[in-house]
Structure 1
Amino acid sequence: MDIQDLEKLNDMLDNESDLREKIRDKINDLDKKTRTMVGNLNKIHSTRPESIPALVGAIRPVLASCGETFGGLAELIPPHQFWRWKDMWCHSLRTAVFVAAMIEYLTNRGLLSLQATASTLGIKDEWQDRVALSAEDYLHGLIGLVNELSRLAVNTVTLGNFEEPLRISAFVKDLFAGFSMLNLKNDVLRRRFDSLKYDIKKIEEVVYDVSLRKLVPTGTSEAGQIAPM
């Protein structure tokens, strides 16, 4: 090979290696933020309803700061190379989606749309060819939300909040119905979606037990317990 060609190849390899390290530094920063948020969110399982707003309030600034990290990634990624690099940060992004979705549920008992989630995370439309929230990553984050809500349904009863499992049940069933109408071709996503049936069963068992023991007012239904979306 020509010596000049070899030098060009070496330069290309060095530049790509440098870029990968810079991207990894940003992802490490994002990982720290998601670990902090998830660690705080874990406290919801031992926190009484009246203290949930304060807990959510402590997480919001960290969630908002994720936009700075995504902005830094957008500056690093060359134009039209989103799909080349996205696998490096997709796990952290899905965790951030889960956090944003959980905060929305805890605050408004509602579901964040894909666009609203991207906005919450500070991901701008003009970055689409470099950093974006894909439908796949969004759906993975929502599945993580259902996984956590099935656990919350059990723990809220332990804390004496007997109506929350009914709200969770109505919310999760509505979300599952939406998932069922999607044409899921990704094998990993499909398997995770199928696993939601176990979460729903777990929640239904809690609702049945609460109802059987008459721990909620007579005539209370799941639909009547979920806040308007």
Structure 2
Amino acid sequence: MDPQDLETLNALLEHDVGVSEKIKEQVKEFDKKVRIIVGILGKIHSTPSTLMPELLDSVDPVLLSCQDITTSIADVIPPDQFWRWKDMWSNSMRTAVYAAGLSEYLRNGSLLSLPRASEILGIKEEWKDRFSLPVEDYLHGLISMVNELSRYAINAVTLGQYEEPVRISKFVKEIFSGFTMLNLKNDSLRRRFDSLKYDLKKIEEVVYDVSLRKLVPPAQAMQ
């Protein structure tokens, strides 16, 4: 092999190693932030509805600080190489979407959109060839949110918030209906979609129980 070619190849390898190390450094910080957020959101299961706004407000600064991380990663990725490196931060990204989606539901009762999730994480349109929020990661985050809501539906009853499972049931049914209309070719995503059926079943069982015990009006439980 020509010595000049070897020198070129070595230079490319060293560059890739440099990019990889810089990404790892930022992803490590990303992981720290999402772990803090998940820890805070874990308290929803023992937090009365009157104190929920205060809890969610404590999530916002940490979630918004993830924008610094996304900016730093985007600055490292060479043009047109997003798909080469994206797996390094996918798990952190999905967790961040889960956190943003759960906060959105608990605060406003609405579904976090893909553009809004990108906005919260500070992802800019001009980064699309270097850093973006893939649809798959967004959907994984929503599934994780539903997984958590199925648990929250049970604990809400323990806290005396009997109407919450009914609201969650309606919300999750709409998400499930949306997923059934998607062409899910990603194997991991398709397998996780199956978990939504079990989550919905658990939530419906909670709604049935509170209805049977006349803790919510029957008409409301049937929505």
TM-score bucket of the superposed structures, by smaller chain = over 0.9
The amino acid across from 1:17 in the alignment is V
CA distance in 2, matches of 1:7, 1:222: 71
1:109 alignment partner in structure 2: 109
List runs of 5+ in structure 1 lacking aligned partners.
Answer: 224-229
TM-score normalised by structure 2 residue count: 0.97
> Which position in structure 1 is the counterpart of 2:162?
162
Letter in 2 for 1:147: N
Map of 2:30 onto structure 1: 30
Q: Which residue does 1:227 correspond to in 2?
A: none
Match of 2:43 in 1: 43
Contact 1:82 1:129 in 2 (8 A): yes
Deviations 1:115-144 (A, max 9, x none): 111011111111100110111111000000
Is the CA contact 1:170–1:222 (under 8 Å) kept in the aligned structure 2?
no
Structure 1 position 211 matched with structure 2 position 203: no
Name the counterpart of 2:179. 179
Task: Give distance in 1, aligned partners of 2:128 and 2:174.
Answer: 30
Give the match for residue 70 of structure 1.
70
CA distance, structure 1, for counterparts of residue 159 and residue 221 of structure 2: 21
Per-residue deviation, 1:161: 0.8
Residues 123 and 131, structure 1, Cα contact 8 Å, conserved in 2:
yes
Q: CA deviation at 1:26?
A: 0.6
Q: Calculate the aligned-residue CA RMSD, in Å.
A: 1.0
Residue of structure 2 in register with 1:80 after alignment:
80
Consecutive aligned runs of 4 or more in structure 1 exceeding 3 Å deviation:
none
CA distance in 1 between counterparts of 2:178 and 2:12 reads 45
DSSP 3-state at the match of 1:193: helix
Taking the aligned partners of 2:5 and 2:219, their CA distance within structure 1 comes to 78
Q: Alpha-carbon deviation of 1:5? A: 2.0
Instruction: Look up the match of 1:140.
Output: 140
- Equivalent in the alignment of 1:17: 17
Q: Distance in 2 between matches of 1:222 and 1:143?
A: 24
Answering whether residue 126 of structure 2 is matched by residue 126 of structure 1, we say: yes
Residue 226 of structure 1: aligned partner: none
Q: Residues 3, 21 of structure 1: CA spacing in aligned structure 2 closer, same or farther, 3 A cutoff?
A: same
CA 63–222 in structure 1, closer or farther in 2 if over 3 Å, else same? farther
Structure 1 contact 169–222 (Cα < 8 Å) conserved = no
**AA aligned opposite 1:37:** I
Query: Structure 2 CA distance, aligned partners of 1:165 and 1:186?
Result: 30
Deviation string 1:85-116 (CA, Å, 9 cap, x unpaired) is: 00111110000000010010011000011111
